[in-house]
Chains A and B, each alone.
Chain A
Amino acid sequence: MSATAAVSDLGTRARLAVAGAAALFLSAGALALTGSTDVLLAVLALLFEKSTLAAALRLSVPIAFAALGGIFAEKSGVINIGLEGLLIVSAFGGVYVTSITGSVWLGLLGGVAVSTLLALLFAIVCIEFRADQIIAGLAIWLIALGLAPFASTVVFGSTNASAGTTFPSIGRLLANSGLPVVSTAGVAALDALAGVPFFGALFEASPMVYLMFVAVGASWWTLNRTSFGRWVHASGENPKALDTAGVRVSRVRYAAVLLSGVLAGVGGAALSLSLGQFVGNGPTMVNGKGFIAIVTYLLGNYNPVGALLSTLLFAGLDALQLSLQGQNVLAIPRPLVRTIPYVSVIVVLALFGKTRLPEAAGEHYESGEE
């Protein structure tokens, strides 16, 4: 069992590597057509700048967490299209709790709690009352889109709210850790490593970035190395077999959907608390990141590591796009530059994405026993 899993993982990874290389190759080809080698060099220089990696990591956090949540839910057979909504409510919940308690960490917990509650509602509607998962997911998004700005207006008197504080950097966190030797040595080591070109960005990121890497690892391990992971897998592929083996399918699905609420909650709270603000106008500050998350985990074929890599690909191109606009490197109109990440993702998805939906995803399962 685990051997097959490992093999399929390897396949996914190889595919992703090919996809990433092809994306680079394609964009290089497109550049070669539009400009000279100077342009190509300038783009590559920007791509390998430390600030680009730092921006890519920061932009990845909410998308990657939502994608992890989506993987758990969908692998268990419940397609959670409401990730965007979970991100929205947790972004507001995080800011609200932080503004009351003054602690971003309590705010993070608050965001997770709100998002998990909304995920619970989604789970009850889908699993208990057999609602159509896509429609219920859209409802979750629409509820959040109205509820969060409304709650903000009630509490803060405006659709925009300020938390008053943001996450500390990893260096300051270490310095304040109260462990005398560890903190000074750690800060010194981090300072030295942060000076490294390009990869230095990995050593001066927000704590949420490290949490994202931990969560990806933990999710992979949970899905592939624990019995809960096997249950989730079976619940999405062949719920009848799981039922026959004596495991309650609905319980596994509840757990998976709640877990998606927890993970998306971390993502949403991380998004708003890294700015210290909640913005509830229009599409809110989440602005489609939940839907991008769905794309990234499909591109990663339900593998947490694959989802992280495709998130980084998208976020990296998004960061690159912003600097390309600012420095005016490409001789094409800015609106086209802005579409680079989306076009690349579509190309990669169309050419290399091999996504196999779980067999029973989207279907309700009713146990035969009463």
Chain B
Amino acid sequence: MDTDRFDRRKFVKGVGAAGLIGLAGCTGGPESGGSSGNSGGSGGDSDSDSEETQTQTQASGSDTTYVGMVYATGGLGDGSFNDQAQTGIQRAAEEFDLSYDESEPDSVSQFSTYQTQYAQSTDPNYDLVSCIGFLQADALSQTAPDYPDQNFMIVDSVVDAPNVRSYTFKEHEGSYLVGQLAGLLTTQSFSAGGSSTQSDSTNVGFVGGVEGSLIKKFEAGYIAGVKAASDDVDVQSTYTGSFSDPSAGKEAALQMYSSGADIVYHAAGNTGVGVFQAAREEGRFAIGVDRDQSVTTDYQDVILASMVKRVDTAVYNAAKAIVNDSFEGGTATTLGLAEEGVDIVYGTELGDQIPEDVKSQIASARQAIIDGDVSVPTEPSNV
């Protein structure tokens, strides 16, 4: 019996060790899933053979620009933030002789690992490392000074280092416009695509993800927009405390709809899927965020509009600057309505049914913000 036990122990140990080695093999290093776009070939593939042949065939004379993408923890396929960033680099890859590699960290602690890996790499030597998401700021403020010759860019936060280009957005300006939409529609009887507003109630909602200064900008702009449309409209705000808990998002939105809300706007990442589901079940409306979510999700029957955030513009501009040798490290740019960094995009299915006078009011509010006649608060307490 004793020898039997010993063998089993040995077996477990062996299997465990083999499994660990296997796992380590899977997780090591950034993924190279990028494509150069030009020929649909995999220029970002780390297989040196294919890389060489492709570089030879496509680039005669000019040097290929290499970009390393470090995405936010949501990962690709989130239908909003990261996918939007990917769109930007794909566009750059189509227009320029540019190749990129991507990595999708699972947790905040992995950011500095991936940033450092790209910065250290000599084959290829990355001309730019794009860091997507405000959570990368801490890691980047430590990585950037260690590699003074490496160019970095960060989206959604400002890192004060001479080799980092920072891009932030005026989310409150875009949110102001969707707030206007919600405020104007809840005060009238509006129905489209199986959903409708309750004519006797003037009430709208906001569902946020993790409460912080970034998401509060969405909330502040939204509330200001609603109040500008009509002072009588109440806004309910709930934070679920997570960007990936759709069941909490659904319950938060259901509470709002059952207490009379007609339209709920979310800035909660994947939690927002639950908001859309709640809107469908209750026959009410919702407003998407970051991308045109009537395209990227299946809920086009309830999405009136989306507040789009052009993360792709930031990524594309930085890549373009690198290609043209005009990269300005150490500067920070804020993209608002005027710079087309944020905007309102009407839903594909319901957008046509929104009354023209509502749309024209929103258009004039948009112009007023661009002209500087209206300033939108960034803190909900200042509304």
Contacts and interface: CB of A to CB of B under 8 A. Distances in A.
Interface of A: 51-52, 54-55, 58-59, 62, 125, 128-131, 149, 153, 157-160, 162, 164, 166, 271, 274-277, 279, 281-285, 287, 318-319, 322-323, 325-328, 334-335, 338, 370
Given A157-B77, A158-B76, A282-B73, A322 B238 contact: yes
15 contacts: A158-B79, A275-B250, A279-B246, A281-B75, A281-B78, A282-B106, A283-B244, A284-B244, A285-B244, A285-B270, A318-B248, A318-B251, A326-B252, A326-B255, A327-B259
Q: Is the interface of B mostly helix, strand, loop or mixed?
A: mixed
B234 to A, nearest CB: 9
B183 interface: no
Contacts of A160: 77-79, 270, 273
A134 B280 CA distance: 42
Contacts of A128: 8
Nearest to B77: A158
Interface centre among A55, A162, A326 (most CB of B within 10 A): A326
A125 B13 CA distance: 12
* A-B pairs, 8 with minimum CB distance: A158-B77, A326-B236, A51-B258, A325-B238, A282-B244, A279-B270, A287-B245, A326-B238
Interface string B249-270: 0111011101100000000011
Given A327-B236, A370-B1, A281 B247 contact: no
Contacts of B79: 158, 160
B274 interface: yes
A274 B250 CA distance: 10
A322 B248 contact: yes
Contacts of A284: 244
A281 B243 contact: yes
A62 B9 CA distance: 36
Given A281-B244, A287-B245, 17 more contacts: A51-B259, A58-B247, A130-B8, A131-B12, A153-B77, A158-B76, A158-B79, A160-B270, A275-B277, A279-B273, A282-B106, A282-B242, A287-B244, A322-B238, A322-B240, A325-B237, A334-B239
A187 B272 CA distance: 32
Interface residues of B, number: 42
A149 B205 CA distance: 31
A264 to B, nearest CB: 16
A55 B236 CA distance: 17
Contacts of B258: 51
A322 B247 contact: no
A274 B251 CA distance: 12
A343 to B, nearest CB: 14
Given A160-B270, A327-B236, A129 B77 contact: no
Contacts of A327: 236, 259
A338 B298 contact: no
B133 interface: no
**Most A-side CB within 10 Å, residue of B1, B11, B245, B250:** B245
A265 B93 CA distance: 44
Interface in B301-326: none
B247 A271 contact: yes
B246 A275 contact: yes
